[in-house]
């Protein structure tokens, strides 16, 4: 078993969740932190004993880490990946969204193919026990009969909680990808996280998956989400309807399913409050295990790039004002034109 050194780049609000799991990891040592703001990096230095840096390139040059946690705003992912690859980083963990614009995804694909850098998106819910061990996938694939409709709903814009929602949907459907999308959207908001997580404020999309499966996806501050949930960011919700049963799955309130012949539904756990820490711990340990020749990471680039494409496909449909297929190109020029149209209040 190799021992790996890691570096934290970005010491903002999300960074703490990456750091607190390190005492429970087997063979990774977090050795440094980097942030443009002195008070942020000093706090991590004092609290966790990390060597602080103001410049990411200097930190990479002096520490030579094998693993980097890139906990930064998503607007410069390609440049960040190129920088990590240049200094021999083997794995770069990025916060979601992995990419915002079509060219971001194209650039990251180029870096992965040319350098071998492993890019892993921090959609750690895949490492919650009921998702990682295949329990939910088994219910969806084998217990509900012929699956014909899924509702996937989350609060926030489609680049806020949308990547988590779409990522789990892909996992539950055995990594199938949509063939077609038809979407509508409204409003551009740039007041808070939306200033960096650039996307329509509200979007509703219908996706066609292989076999005729329909998925109704909504990401919006006004999304239906989970009935009765009071925490804004806990609204990550799925309803699976099949010819022989139903699965009702929430992020923080458990799940249940019921099929033909069952007098009562079967209930199971799903809790961010109870599983969030363990999910992040196992997600991070899996990075080192993969570098050591173990199982490929569940959030590796090859699995998450299709998630981003699915999200962008809906925006392409909004731009075109019609259903679009997965093979239709979506350009940065179209992406920017859509933002301007929505900013001006033009219906889409």
Q: What is the DSSP string of 69-125?
A: EE-S-GGGHHHHHHHHHHTT-SEEEEPSPS-SSHHHHHHHHHHHHHH--EEEE--GG
Q: List the one residue out of 112, 98, 136, 120 whose CA is nearest residue 275.
A: 136
Instruction: Provide the residue range defining the domain that includes 208.
Output: 136-268+307-335
| d(C-alpha 224, C-alpha 4), whole Å | 43
Residues 292 and 256 in one domain: no
- Residue 345 tokens, joined: 């209040």
**141-178 tens-digit pLDDT:** 999 999 999 999 999 999 999 999 999 999 999 999 99
Q: Is residue 232 part of a domain?
A: yes
Q: Is residue 345 part of a domain?
A: no
Answer for the pair 25, 285: CB distance below 8 angstroms, yes or no. Answer: yes
**93-148 tens-digit pLDDT:** 999 999 999 999 999 999 999 999 999 999 999 999 999 999 999 999 999 999 99
pLDDT at residue number 256: 98
Residues 223 and 316 in one domain: yes
pLDDT at residue number 344: 86
In CATH, what number is assigned to the domain containing residue 206? 3.30.360.10
Residues 295 and 313 in one domain: no
Q: Is residue 342 part of a domain?
A: no
Q: Is residue 240 part of a domain?
A: yes
Omega of the bond leading into 97 within 30 degrees of 0 (cis): yes
Domains: count for the chain: 2
- Residue 208 tokens, joined: 């066609």
pTM for this entry: 0.96
| d(C-alpha 184, C-alpha 298), whole Å | 31
| d(C-alpha 165, C-alpha 250), whole Å | 11
The DSSP element (H or E) to which 214 belongs, if any, is strand 214-219
Residues 163 and 234 in one domain: yes
Residues 84 and 179 in one domain: no
pLDDT at residue number 348: 66
Answer for the pair 70, 10: CB distance below 8 angstroms, yes or no. Answer: yes
In CATH, what number is assigned to the domain containing residue 295? 3.40.50.720
**189-202 tens-digit pLDDT:** 988 888 899 899 99
Residues 155 and 70 in one domain: no
The DSSP element (H or E) to which 78 belongs, if any, is helix 77-86
Residues 59 and 147 in one domain: no
N-to-C CA span, the chain? 53
**27-78 tens-digit pLDDT:** 999 999 999 999 999 999 999 999 999 999 999 999 999 999 999 999 999 9
Q: Is residue 157 part of a domain?
A: yes
Q: Is the pLDDT of residue 223 over 70?
A: yes
pLDDT at residue number 338: 96
Q: Is residue 102 part of a domain?
A: yes
Query: What 3-state DSSP class applies to 195?
Result: helix
Q: Is residue 130 part of a domain?
A: no
Residues 314 and 222 in one domain: yes
> Looking only at Cα atoms, what is the longest distance across the chain?
64
| d(C-alpha 67, C-alpha 285), whole Å | 11
Residues 181 and 291 in one domain: no
Residue 255, classified by CB atoms within 10 Å of its CB into exposed (0-12), middle (13-18) or buried (19+), is buried
pLDDT at residue number 191: 87
Residues 141 and 180 in one domain: yes
Q: Is the dihedral of CA 84, 90, 93, 97 positive or negative?
A: positive
| d(C-alpha 185, C-alpha 195), whole Å | 17
- Residue 105 tokens, joined: 């995804």
Residues 119 and 147 in one domain: no
pLDDT at residue number 10: 97
Answer for the pair 172, 130: CB distance below 8 angstroms, yes or no. Answer: no
Q: Is the pLDDT of residue 345 over 90?
A: no
| d(C-alpha 210, C-alpha 247), whole Å | 20
Q: Is residue 347 part of a domain?
A: no
Residues 296 and 252 in one domain: no
Answer for the pair 29, 6: CB distance below 8 angstroms, yes or no. Answer: yes
**263-296 tens-digit pLDDT:** 999 999 999 999 999 999 999 999 999 999 999 9
pLDDT at residue number 347: 62
């Amino acid at each position: 078993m190799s021992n790996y050194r890691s570096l934290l780049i970005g010491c903002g609000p999300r960074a703490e969740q990456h750091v607190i799991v390190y005492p429970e990891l087997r063979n990774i040592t977090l050795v440094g932190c980097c942030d443009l703001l002195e008070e942020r990096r000093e706090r991590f230095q004092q609290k966790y004993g990390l060597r602080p840096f103001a410049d990411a390139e200097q930190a990479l040059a002096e520490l030579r880490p094998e693993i980097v946690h890139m906990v930064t705003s998503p607007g410069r992912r390609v440049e960040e990946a190129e920088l990590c690859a240049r200094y021999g980083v083997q794995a770069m963990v990025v916060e979601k969204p992995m990419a915002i614009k079509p060219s971001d995804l194209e650039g990251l694909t180029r870096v992965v193919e040319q350098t071998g850098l492993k890019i892993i998106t921090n959609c750690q819910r895949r490492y919650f026990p009921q998702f990682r061990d295949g329990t939910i996938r088994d219910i969806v694939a084998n217990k509900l009969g012929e699956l014909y409709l899924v509702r996937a709903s989350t609060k926030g814009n489609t680049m806020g909680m949308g990547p988590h929602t779409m990522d789990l949907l892909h996992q539950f459907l055995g990594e199938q990808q949509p063939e077609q999308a038809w979407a509508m959207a409204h409003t551009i908001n740039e007041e808070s996280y939306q200033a960096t997580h650039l996307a329509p404020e509200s979007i509703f999309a219908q996706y066609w998956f292989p076999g005729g499966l329909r998925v109704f996806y909504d990401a919006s501050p006004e999304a239906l989400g989970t009935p009765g949930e009071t925490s804004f960011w806990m609204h990550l919700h799925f309803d699976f309807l099949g010819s022989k049963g139903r699965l009702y799955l929430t992020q923080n309130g458990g799940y249940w399913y019921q099929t033909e012949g069952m007098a009562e539904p079967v209930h199971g756990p799903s809790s961010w409050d109870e599983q969030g820490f363990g999910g992040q711990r196992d997600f991070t340990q899996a990075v080192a295990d993969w570098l050591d020749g173990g199982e490929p990471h569940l959030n590796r680039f090859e699995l998450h790039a299709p998630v981003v494409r699915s999200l962008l496909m809906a925006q392409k449909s909004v731009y075109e004002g019609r259903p679009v297929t997965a093979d239709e190109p979506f350009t940065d020029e179209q992406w920017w034109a859509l933002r301007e149209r929505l900013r001006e209040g033009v219906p889409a």
